[in-house]
Amino acid sequence: MTPRPSPASAAADWHRDLARAIRDPGQLLERLELPASLADHPAAKLFGVMVPESFLARMRPGDPHDPLLRQVLPDVREHDRVEGFTIDAVGDQAARRTPGLIHKYAGRALLVSTGSCAVHCRYCFRRHYPYGREPRRLDEWKPAIAALQADDSIREVILSGGDPLMLTDARLGELLDRLDAIPHLARLRIHTRLPIVLPSRVTPALCRRLQSGRLTPIVVVHANHPAEVVGDCVEALVGLVRSGLTVLNQAVLLAGVNDDADTLEALCSRLADTGVVAYYLHQLDRVAGAAHFETDESVGRALIAELERRLPGYAVPRYVREQSGESSKRRLV
């Protein structure tokens, strides 16, 4: 039997994996045995490249259309100006109540816990988000914590970002302690892509901390393609599920990545096999630079209808789109 990693070495592992992530488009292409000319444009300057080794290892060498590569490789079309595609696609700024606090929907509010991520998804709706204005140090969270304390209609806090699991266990723990102490809060949601792209982040210590707080934890991960949900990623998801956490997935419908029934069926059944609930399939948020990922809503509706024919009801996600100013995400089916 291999000994369980000590907490210190488990933490060292993910910090090391993060430090080793690829940040150079040329290097990314070289590792995949693809021509450097594919990065012969400056789109990486619009939003830097970031790809952890674990995620890279799930791509097919020599395939420029690999669905995981498509999500992270800068594309010359990111420079296109397309009508309707804007910097603040979902009205985050109008819903910002204090630094770091976005409150749109009844009973739940979102904290922009950090500006960093372990992967840079080219279609990210927050790719232009002004993270520099948001809190970094614990004392800078005071206005957001005070606003949560003052509003007892809020029952659930969502840690988002960026990716909240980019915080160290110590920093995350301090923030969670503050939230645990607000009596009217009941639930804590963590929106994170790290279990998918940097599985070593899921340590026994992290699972324990999420379970041992006062708030009921819900972890929402983000995988778009079945080839993401393999190997160490499955181990991480099973680790979360077996430690008793509720784990949901949200995916984004992306042209050329997952806009066909076989791919979505494989994604949803793999999630179900792992004990992860398919929560949302998002229509793409219309953020500047991501127009080439957009799929028509009629295609999305047909895909959901097909999934319903092929899968148990619990394995079919809700197809939704976020519309600025609305009181919830809007169901499209």
Ligand X SMILES: *Cc1c(COP(=O)(O)O)cnc(C)c1O
Taking the CA of residue 199 as centre, how many other CA atoms within 13 Å lie in the half-sphere pointing to its CB? 21
The one among 60, 79, 97, 108 contacting ligand X by CB under 6 A: 108
Per-residue burial over 138-177, b if 16 or more Cβ lie within 10 Å, else e, is eeebeebbebbeeeeebebbbbbbbbbbbbebebbbebbe
| Residue position matching structure tokens 């181990």 | 235
Contacts of 8 (CB under 8 A, 6+ apart): none
Q: Is residue 131 near ligand X by the rule CB under 6 A?
A: no
Cβ proximity to ligand X: between 31 and 329 the closer is 329
Size of the site for ligand X (CB under 6 A): 8
Pairing, β 277-282 against β 216-221: unpaired
Neighbours of 42 (CB within 10 A): 11
The one among 134, 163, 169, 228 contacting ligand SF4 by CB under 6 A: 163
Shortest separation between residue 50's beta carbon and ligand SF4, angstroms = 8
Residue 108 binding result from ligand SF4, ligand X, none, given CB thresholds of 5 to 8 Å by partner type:
ligand X
Q: Is residue 104 near ligand X by the rule CB under 6 A?
A: yes
Binding span for ligand X by CB under 6 A among 32-40, 64-72, 74-82, 97-105: 97-105
Name the strands in the sheet holding 330-331, side by side, starting at the edge strand that comes first in the sequence. Answer: 96-98, 101-105, 108-112, 156-160, 187-191, 216-221, 246-252, 277-282, 318-321, 330-331
The one among 119, 148, 176, 267 contacting ligand SF4 by CB under 6 A: 119
Shortest separation between residue 277's beta carbon and ligand X, angstroms = 12
Q: Is residue 193 near ligand SF4 by the rule CB under 6 A?
A: yes
The one among 70, 96, 103, 126 contacting ligand SF4 by CB under 6 A: 126
Give CA separation, 243 vs 210, 217, 333, in Å: 10, 11, 33
Shortest separation between residue 124's beta carbon and ligand SF4, angstroms = 3
Interaction site with ligand SF4 (CB under 6 A): 117, 119-121, 124, 126, 161-163, 193, 222
Interaction site with ligand X (CB under 6 A): 102, 104-105, 108, 110, 158, 328-329
